[in-house]
Every structure is written in structure tokens, then in C-alpha cells.
């Protein structure tokens, strides 16, 4: 189990072992799930390896890295934090969930962070499919886009499956579209009318799709 210490060669080796084989970064060595959300401003991907993060900094001129997983004691987290520090990126923790109704307070916190962020920025979760899709959809709405455009960020194209428990993220945007789009600005709706408990109560996931997502693909 990685203890978070990168101060020694042994700790660095443990971090890489944990990242590659416990956190499944062995797949992310060749698969980035990287996509543009807002050209020259916002990008999304799975948890980047140090080499990929350096390459993205050079290619995109990145200024900020947003970690949608939250602060974790795992090798991938420690390595990306260290790399961000070494290459001069601002590292921001903005944890979201992938299988629960998005929390009002977290959406509003993300909106405030986004308002004051140093761009271009890259945001990542573990696989770049679910929480990255939610955050990308939120960015679309922060920028004045539509719920339908936001929903496009939650697609099988990114390996997001809307019939599994992660489909509650799609349901969130659909809820806004049905209840308030055209009547209230998105953030005003979140502040005044969004009902997390109702969304959870109304949403039903496919057991089979959830099994694939949770146990075969081992998503967070």
C-alpha cells in the first residue's frame, strides 16, 4: 500500500507500482482519453502519467491541472502532484462523485474556481469518462452552452455508459433541461431549485450495465 512518500527511491518505486498495477495506470500509458472541451482553454483526460502531463504542458501551454478525484493516497495522485509542481502547473483538487447526484455545494465551488482559474487547464478523473464528463458538461453550461451540449460530454465515445449507475450524471443535465432551461440560468437553478434527493429517488440504473462499469472496468 502506497503511503504517500516520494522522498526516497523506494517510495518513488512504490508509487509507480501502486499507480501502474493498483490504480490501473498500465492502461493509461497508451490510452489518454484526452479531448478538447473549449478550444485553447479547457481539456479533459484520464489520470495523466508524468510523461503525458509534461507533454500536455508543452503542447497546450497548460497553466492549471484540476484533479476531479480529490486528494488520494495513491501513487497516481502523488506522481501527478509532484510533476505539476516541477513543471509549474497550479494543482487544484475538485472532487466529484460518479455514481451519485452531483452535490450543489461542489457545483457552486467548481463554478467559483472556474471563474478565477488560470487557463488553459486540463481536468482529469481516473478514466476520463464519468467525472471528467460531468465537469466538462458543467464547463459547457458555465460558458453559456445548452444542456444538450453538456450531455454530449457524457458519451460512450469517452467510455461513459448512461445505463449504469453513472447515468445519474446524464439525469442531472436532463433534469435541468426539463425543469428550468430557458427559464432560469443554470447556476441560479442549482442555487435555488436543484433537488439532489429527488434526482436520486427518480433515477434507476441497469444492474447489468452497473456490473460492467463497477466490476469489469473497475471504475471509481
Q: Say what the pLDDT of residue 50 is.
A: 98
- Give residues with Cβ within 8 angstroms of 42, minimum separation 6: 36, 119, 120, 121, 123, 136, 139
What pTM, to 2 d.p., does this model score? Answer: 0.94
Neighbours of 33 (CB within 10 A): 18
pLDDT at 71 over 70: yes
pLDDT at 217 over 70: no
Rounded CA separation 109/120 (Å) = 19
Query: For residues 92 and 34, is the Cβ–Cβ distance under 8 A?
Result: no
Q: Say what the pLDDT of residue 88 is.
A: 98
Which candidate, 64, 68, 114, places its Cα nearest to that of 84?
64
Confidence at 205, pLDDT banded by 50, 70, 90: confident
Q: CA-CA distances (angstroms) from residue 220 to 72, 99, 131, 180? A: 12, 9, 9, 30
Cell of 216: 469489469
Report the relative pairing of strands 64-67 and 42-45 from DSSP bridges: unpaired
Query: For residues 120 and 42, is the Cβ–Cβ distance under 8 A?
Result: yes
Confidence at 38, pLDDT banded by 50, 70, 90: very high
**Where do the H-state alpha helices sit in the chain?**
9-17, 25-28, 50-60, 75-87, 104-115, 131-142, 147-151, 168-179, 186-192, 196-202, 207-211
Confidence at 215, pLDDT banded by 50, 70, 90: low
What's the chain's average pLDDT? 94
Of 17-21, 124-128, 213-217, the one with minimum mean pLDDT is 213-217
Q: Domain 9-216 - what CATH class?
A: alpha beta
pLDDT at 211 over 60: no
Q: What is the pLDDT of residues 78-127, one digit of tens each?
A: 999 999 999 999 999 999 999 999 999 999 999 999 999 999 999 999 99
Neighbours of 91 (CB within 10 A): 15
pLDDT at 179 over 80: yes
Confidence at 206, pLDDT banded by 50, 70, 90: confident
> What whole-number percentage of the chain has pLDDT above 90?
89
Task: Tell me the average pLDDT across 47-58.
Answer: 98
- For the chain, the domains span 9-216
pLDDT at 218 over 90: no
Report the relative pairing of strands 121-124 and 64-67 from DSSP bridges: parallel
Cell of 107: 457545483
CA angle 108, 46, 153 (to 5 degrees): 55
Neighbours of 39 (CB within 10 A): 8
Q: Say what the pLDDT of residue 195 is.
A: 97
Amino acid at each position: 500500500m502506497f503511503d504517500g512518500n516520494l522522498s526516497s527511491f523506494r517510495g518513488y518505486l512504490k508509487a509507480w507500482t501502486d499507480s501502474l498495477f493498483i490504480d490501473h495506470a498500465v492502461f493509461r500509458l497508451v490510452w489518454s482519453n484526452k479531448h478538447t472541451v473549449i478550444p485553447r482553454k479547457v481539456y479533459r483526460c484520464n489520470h495523466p502519467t508524468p510523461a503525458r502531463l509534461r507533454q500536455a504542458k508543452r503542447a497546450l501551454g497548460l497553466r492549471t491541472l484540476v484533479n476531479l478525484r480529490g486528494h488520494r493516497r495513491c501513487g497516481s495522485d502523488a506522481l501527478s502532484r509532484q510533476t505539476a509542481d516541477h513543471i509549474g502547473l497550479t494543482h487544484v483538487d475538485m472532487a466529484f462523485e460518479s455514481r451519485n447526484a452531483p452535490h450543489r455545494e461542489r457545483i457552486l465551488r467548481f463554478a467559483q474556481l472556474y471563474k478565477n482559474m488560470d487557463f488553459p487547464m486540463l481536468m482529469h478523473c481516473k478514466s476520463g469518462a464519468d467525472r471528467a464528463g460531468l465537469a466538462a458538461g458543467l464547463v459547457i453550461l458555465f460558458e453559456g452552452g445548452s444542456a444538450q451540449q453538456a450531455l454530449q460530454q457524457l458519451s460512450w465515445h469517452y467510455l461513459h455508459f448512461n445505463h449504469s449507475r453513472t447515468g445519474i450524471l446524464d439525469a442531472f443535465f436532463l433534469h435541468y433541461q426539463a425543469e428550468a432551461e430557458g427559464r432560469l440560468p443554470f447556476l441560479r437553478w442549482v442555487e435555488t431549485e436543484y433537488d439532489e434527493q429527488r434526482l436520486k429517488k427518480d433515477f434507476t440504473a441497469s444492474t447489468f450495465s452497473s456490473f460492467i462499469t463497477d466490476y469489469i472496468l473497475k471504475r471509481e
